[in-house]
Amino acid sequence: MAAEQEALYYCCLISGGRWLATCGEGGELLVLDTASGKLLHRIPSGQGELNGLSLSLDGQRLAVFGDDGTVSIRDAGSLAERHRFKAHGAQVWQGAWSPDGSMLATCGNEKGVRLWETATFKAAGSIDSSVDLECLTASTSGRLAIGGERSTLLLAGFPGSSAADNERQEVQSGTAWLGRYFNLGTVSFSPDGQLLAAGEQGAGLRLLRLDATEGAVVSRQFPDTVTAVAFAPDGRTLAVGLADGTLGTISTEAVHNPSLQLQRY
């Protein structure tokens, strides 16, 4: 595939890993064949810039989050749009499905997370925050992690999920660097839901062990802003993307090693 002229903001695997869906500044949903790299579909969305994607755990529905405040729900196989609704007054940055697919959580350019029941996509509640939020992820148990301004991390659970009894918590994910806190721009749970990676716009990576009582936070600094984080299926490796185009990995078993380095590709 030839390089796109506009920035790409997000990607995820769909159709059992056979296709890669991506989106960004151009406002189009692009779908590629993962084996050949061939561009299969280029779908104008009419939502302005596209900020993110989320695939339901059953692999059937793809949520597309737009700059105009709307969410487009598409069939992940045919890519046909099944529903579109207004979720926020301005940009929708990201969202995540509950484990059973009955709810969708979204965060936008405002304080708080909104919850939607997915039969009709009517409002089903909200989770308050004291700061603007920028990124969101969910564990397979239904625990939500939402990152925002000043290294703020909001932890909660989908109603009705096994994580629903977790207390809502709003914490700063680490100590200040260079005399200030930075915004969290990307978050990701490990497969077992016990480790959370959070990338900062100030070139930092925070790793939080959610079941730990001591030493829960490990901080690492990199040469540029951390724009993407993703765990391997076994949870032992974390992929890290930087704004300067660097892509590398670190071992989650060695995060307490002071000399830990990013293994670059």
Short-list 210, 185, 175, CA closest to 196: 210
What's the average model confidence in pLDDT over 82-100? 95
Q: Per-residue pLDDT tens for 184-195?
A: 888 899 988 888
pLDDT by residue (tens digit) across 105-150? 999 978 889 999 999 999 999 988 888 888 899 999 999 988 888 7
d(CA 126, CA 147): 16
The residue type at 189: F
- Domains, the chain, ranges and CATH? 1-86 (2.40.10.480)
Predicted confidence at residue 82, as pLDDT, reads 97
Residue 176 above 50 pLDDT? Answer: no
Nearest to 27 by CA among 9, 2, 3: 9
* Contact indicator for 239, 229 with CB cutoff of 8 Å: yes
Q: Rounded to two decimals, what is the model's pTM? A: 0.85
The CA distances from residue 96 to 51, 78, 177, 250, in Å, are 13, 21, 30, 25
- The 10s digit of each residue's pLDDT in 31-48 is 999 888 899 999 999 999
Q: What is the DSSP string of 70-110?
A: EEEEEETTT--EEEEEE--SS-EEEEEE-TTSSEEEEEESS
Query: pLDDT at position 54, please?
Result: 94
